[in-house]
Amino acid sequence: MKTLIKKVDAEFPENSLTIFETAAKIINSGGLVAFPTETVYGLGANALDSNAVKKIYAAKGRPSDNPLIVHISDISELYPIVSYISDKALKLIDAFWPGPLTLIFNKTDIIPYETSGGLNTVAIRFPSNKTAQLLIKQAAVPIAAPSANSSGKPSPTRASHVEFDLNGKIDMIIDGGGSKFGLESTIIDVSSEIPCILRPGSITKKMIEDVIGNVEIDSAVIKENTMPKAPGMKYKHYSPLANVTIVSGDIENTVKKINSLAFKSVSKNINTAIIATTQTENQYKYGTILVAGDRNKPETIAKNLFKILRKCDYLNIKEVYSESFDSDGIETAIMNRLKKAAGNNIIYV
Ligand code: AMP
Ligand code: MG
């Protein structure tokens, strides 16, 4: 299959209407279109067409019990696909949609089990990215879209990442520039009485609690070796080909430990990289230094993390040592992804 790749202006995608007409035709005839969102790039299919949705799992190599997020472009599109919306859900919708928050509801029969991974609930998101909104509007169907990477790889935050993983396997890629947030959406289950965060993201627990009061957080997000409630969270994920080790502790001891580990690794002629921050980059002496961002602006680290993990593969890195980000804002989401990339390989100093 030849993959059509088309660029649109992220600010003014409406100037490329013919591209959206082509993409909508592909979606409506059961094909796959990768498109930008504010979180990461998604791989879209008609969420109501079970055959189209099956193609997503095949292209990504995704396990069939891992449900997809359904994307809508207007709140009115929610009512036909979910059976009940609680008051707390309405408040969250009001506060955070369109934006990087996914809500889990009980589904209606028009959502096929292929989309919900066999569950009676369905995950829904209304993205704020203009290109994503325009595609959904033009296709006039809800679009099921997981991250547009090969299963297990870091999520794509630019069109070139999607091309690297899926060229020749999908019908089209819409290139709308780099992702604004760079981490997948926060997922919160609002299908039962007490809302529960299943995946941390850029919308933090504190931001949610400011709107609806106390919420739970799935213990698997924090504790190792616990079965997560979001089926997809149990899979090894986000991994570069290299061995990843996180070093956790105060900054001074972290830098010392990483320098010592990197020295040993480089001495054995192992291609080594360090994931550093603007605060520490000048203190490292060995290997390739990759700056994730500024500790005082953790959203910069969120935005760059997947790009850096992918860069390790492109540079043929075999050993990665990363600093740790231990704070309870967006750092919870950063650490959740980093720990998965490291297979929970952490050294405490
Ligand atoms: P991705 O779109 O690749 O970010 O993956 C979607 C994530 O949402 C996976 O971790 C899924 O397990 C999770 N998810 C989707 N639908 C549901 C659902 N109905 N219940 C729980 N988790 C879900
Ligand atoms: Mg994914």
**Mean pLDDT calculated for residue range 253-277:** 98
Q: What's the Rg (C-alpha) of the chain? A: 20
**Mean pLDDT calculated for residue range 67-73:** 97
Q: Is residue 140 scored above 80 in pLDDT?
A: yes
Q: What is the pLDDT of residues 72-131, one digit of tens each?
A: 999 999 999 999 999 999 999 999 999 999 999 999 999 999 999 999 999 999 999 999
Distance 264 CA to ligand 2 centre (A): 34
For atom 13 of ligand 1, the residue with the nearest CA is 230
Question: For ligand 1, what atom is nearest to the CA of residue 184?
Answer: 4
For atom 21 of ligand 1, the residue with the nearest CA is 230
Q: Which residue bears the tokens 């082509």?
A: 22
- pLDDT for res 163: 98
DSSP-derived 3-state class of residue 35: strand
Going by pLDDT thresholds of 50, 70 and 90, the confidence category of residue 236 is: low
Judge contact between 157 and 178, C-beta under 8 A. yes
**Cα separations in angstroms, 178 against 22, 47, 129, 207, 294:** 22, 25, 11, 25, 18
- pLDDT for res 95: 98
Q: Is residue 308 scored above 80 in pLDDT?
A: yes
Q: Is residue 49 scored above 90 in pLDDT?
A: yes
Measured in degrees and rounded to the nearest 5, phi and psi for residue 217 equal: -125, 130
CB of 124 closer than 6 angstroms to any ligand 1 atom: no
- The CATH T-level fold of domain 243-348 is Rossmann fold (3.40.50)
Angle between helices 87-96 and 205-212 (to 10 degrees): 120
Q: What is the pLDDT of residues 182-211, one digit of tens each?
A: 999 999 999 988 899 999 999 999 999 999
Query: What is the Cα–Cα distance from 270 to 6, expressed in whole angstroms?
Result: 39
User: In whole numbers, what is the pLDDT of the chain averaged over residues?
Assistant: 95
Query: What is the Cα–Cα distance from 79 to 93, expressed in whole angstroms?
Result: 13
CB of 230 closer than 6 angstroms to any ligand 1 atom: yes
CB of 69 closer than 6 angstroms to any ligand 1 atom: yes
**Mean pLDDT calculated for residue range 307-331:** 94
Superfamily of domain 4-234: DHBP synthase (3.90.870.10)
Which segment of 39-43, 68-72, 152-156, 274-278 scores lowest on mean pLDDT? 152-156
Domain ranges in the chain are 4-234, 243-348
Phi-psi region of 129 (alpha: psi -120 to 50; beta: other; left: phi over 0): beta
What is the spatial order of strands in the sheet that 288-293 belongs to?
288-293, 272-277, 319-323, 243-248, 346-348
- pLDDT for res 235: 65
- pLDDT for res 102: 98
Residues 6+ apart with CB under 8 A from 6: 16, 19, 22, 23, 172, 173, 174, 175
Query: What is the Cα–Cα distance from 269 to 246, expressed in whole angstroms?
Result: 21
Going by pLDDT thresholds of 50, 70 and 90, the confidence category of residue 228 is: confident
Q: Please list the alpha-helical segments (H only) found in the chain.
A: 17-28, 50-60, 87-96, 113-116, 130-139, 159-166, 205-212, 219-222, 251-267, 298-314, 331-341
Distance 70 CA to ligand 1 centre (A): 10
Going by pLDDT thresholds of 50, 70 and 90, the confidence category of residue 229 is: confident
Q: What percentage of the chain carries pLDDT values higher than 70?
A: 99
Going by pLDDT thresholds of 50, 70 and 90, the confidence category of residue 239 is: confident
- pLDDT for res 193: 84
Distance 43 CA to ligand 2 centre (A): 10
- pLDDT for res 246: 97
**Mean pLDDT calculated for residue range 146-159:** 95
Whole-prediction pTM: 0.95
Name the strand (E) or helix (H) holding 64. none
- pLDDT for res 232: 76
Q: Which of 104, 216, 229, 340 to mutate to test the pocket of ligand 1 (most atoms within 8 A of CB)?
A: 104
Q: Is residue 268 scored above 90 in pLDDT?
A: yes
Say if 4-234 and 243-348 have the same CATH topology. Answer: no
Q: Is residue 169 scored above 90 in pLDDT?
A: yes
Q: What percentage of the chain carries pLDDT values higher than 90?
A: 89
DSSP-derived 3-state class of residue 238: coil
- pLDDT for res 64: 86
CB of 143 closer than 6 angstroms to any ligand 1 atom: no
